[in-house]
Amino acid sequence: MIMNEKCFHIKTYGCQMNEHDSEKLAAMLAQMNYLEADRLDQADLIILNTCCVRENAELKVYGNLGEMKHLKEKNPDLILAICGCMMQQNHVVEKIRKSYPFVDLVFGTHNLHRFPELLVNAQSMEGLLVEVWDNEEEIAEDLPVERKYVSKAFVNIMYGCNNFCSYCIVPYTRGRERSREPEKILEEIHQLAAQGTVEVTLLGQNVNSYGKTLGEKVDFADLLYLIHGVPGIQRIRFMTSHPADFSEKLMEAMANLKKVCNHLHLPVQAGSNRILKEMNRKYTRETYLDKVQKLKSKIPGIAITTDIIVGFPGETDEDFEDTLTLVKAVGYDAAFTFLYSVRTGTPAAEMKNQVADEDKMRRFNQLVAAVNEMGLANNQRIMGETLSVLVEGISKNNPDRLTGRTETHKLVNFAGKKEWIGRIVPVTITDAKTFSLLGVCPLEDDDV
Ligand code: 5AD
Ligand code: SF4
């Protein structure tokens, strides 16, 4: 048999949805006998899986394309492909055509499953091959997936978004909301469990509206009950939840189902009702805080994390103060904080009252300080507790330590045996930092 000895390297930008798409691309390439290369200069095929949620992510891609040009000059047989959210925008594809003529293949988010055929076609022709679909007619099922970890896996439950938050490009690049059939999701999770997966993260832009395109025969809470019944799966996570659609029924499901982790990522984006309205978020600070209160009383010890945008058009110091007071009222365990970034094609990009950069930066720094202080205080509160930790691997900073995550999604480093990787073990927390915890595992001495 003649083996194809070609190597690929995928660079992924952006969210978990993109990371999971890259896992699918890697699996398609494995089926084509490609091997994964650690370094760009070892690869015969480089794929950039792009993100366009904020301008920074786009700038990174253009920066990396400069580097690709040199690699192409050194190795004219190198195939360079670009995919992901950026490619769903016409002006980006036009810019690639004009300014980066050495790119071989461009495809989008809706035709990922067409990649093997597109690759073969791109290899056999000169110049750039572009195939970007505006919509995905049907969800492509049964794509292979090359999982990064055995113990934990991402599972798409839905695609696209119908919310049209006024700052966000995602509804334009990922298209309309579409839910996968529950049977297909369960089949995938049963297979994962059979291969040793203990934790699944259900992915969707707004998991709380799961099922709407299926004639409402099953909603997200129902889906959680179904997945909870899969033997072998010990932890269920999900992201992202839109606060407007976060129902009492879902809260009950989270409280009742032991395998659903006591962590909720609930992006608030802003604390001022006026800004929330301009953002088209469809909830108020009061209804948000009310849901958080109920969650905390129903699920003691739940960790709540969020996304916050600073400097949305028209945001005043008073509006920002509302964000700060909301952040303190919730007492988040962690928050992703973003400077508002103008996205062409979104309603907010047309708003006249853009905030000056220095005001944005000042508020951003204030917010980060508040969030970090709170994160540290929350971490300090759990010192001395013994928590179950899914061991993910060896710590990057200290090869003598293992690293893993608590149910509340906190990162814990502790001494232990390599054989524990992929298992859930108890860890007693001995030290708290802003972004991680240190601990000791009581199993250490017994487990010979
Ligand atoms: N500018 C800044 N942040 C944004 N996000 C989405 N669009 C923008 C934008 N135009 C943030 C939101 C979202 C997260 C994934 O990215 O906080 O929840
Ligand atoms: Fe973007 Fe809003 Fe949809 Fe999230 S819910 S993907 S922020 S439009």
Provide the pLDDT for residue 111. Answer: 92
User: Under DSSP, is residue 67 helix (H, G, I), strand (E, B) or coil?
Assistant: helix
Assign domain 386-447 to its CATH architecture: Beta Barrel (2.40)
- Ligand 1 atom nearest the C-alpha of 267 is 18
Angstrom distance (rounded) from CA 310 to CA 340 = 6
Bridge partners (DSSP) of residue 404 are: 391, 412
Banded model confidence at residue 50, pLDDT cuts 50, 70, 90: very high
Identify the residue whose tokens are 């200069």: 41
Question: Among 32-41, 142-151, 380-389, where is mean pLDDT lowest?
Answer: 142-151
Average pLDDT, the chain: 93
Q: Does residue 323 line the site of ligand 2, with CB under 6 A?
A: no
The pLDDT of 85-94, averaged and rounded, is 93
Mean pLDDT of all residues in 129-142: 80
Kindly give the residue spans of alpha helices, DSSP state H, lying in 77-201.
90-99, 115-123, 170-173, 182-194
* 136 contacts 175 by C-beta, under 8 angstroms: yes
Extents of the domains making up the chain = 6-131, 152-380, 386-447
For 229-252, the pLDDT digits (tens) are 999 999 999 999 999 999 999 999
Which residue from 53, 166, 174, 205 has its CB within 8 A of the most atoms of ligand 2, so it is best to mutate? 205
Please say whether the beta carbons of 328 and 283 come within 8 A.
Answer: no
Residue 83 is assigned to a ligand binding site: no
Tokens representing residue 215 in the block:
């004639």
Dump pLDDT digits (tens) for 307-343.
999 999 999 999 999 999 999 999 999 999 999 999 9
Strands 129-131 and 152-156: unpaired
Residue 140: pLDDT above 90? Answer: no
Largest pairwise CA distance in the chain: 70
Residues 6+ apart with CB under 8 A from 445: none
Give the model's pLDDT for residue 446. 53
CA-based nearest residue to 277, from 335, 348, 325:
348
Token pair belonging to 83: 């995919």
- 174 Cα nearest atom in ligand 2: 6
Omega of the bond leading into 240 within 30 degrees of 0 (cis): yes
CATH number of the domain at 6-131, please?
A: 3.40.50.12160
Look at the block and give the residue holding tokens 């395998």: 259
Spelled out in words, what is the top-level CATH class assigned to the domain 152-380? alpha beta
Phi, psi at 100, each rounded to 5°:
-130, 65
Q: Are 144 and 27 in contact (CB under 8 A)?
A: yes
CA–CA dist 276, 1 (Å, integer)? 61
CA distance 442 to 432: 18
pLDDT band at 97 (very low <50, low <70, confident <90, very high): very high
Q: Report the pLDDT value the prediction gives residue 374, as an integer from 0 to 100.
A: 96
Give the Å distance between the CA of 313 and the centre of ligand 2.
17
Which long-range contacts (C-beta less than 8 Å, at least 24 apart) are formed by 402-406?
Answer: 406/437
Contact 218, 186 (CB under 8 A): no
Mean pLDDT (whole number) for 94-121: 94
Give me the pLDDT at residue 143, please. Answer: 75
The per-residue pLDDT for range 217-231, each reduced to its tens digit, is 899 999 999 999 999
CA–CA gap between residue 86 and residue 61 (Å, rounded): 9
3-state secondary structure (DSSP) of residue 25: helix
Round to whole Å and give the CA distance between 305 and 302. 10
pLDDT of residue 156: 94
Ligand (nearest to CA of 206): 2
Q: What are phi and psi of 250, to 5 degrees?
A: -70, -40
Looking at all shown ligands, the one closest to residue 56's CA atom is 1
Question: Residue 444 pLDDT more than 90?
Answer: no
- Say yes or no: CB of residue 355 within 6 Å of ligand 1: no
d(CA 255, CA 220): 14
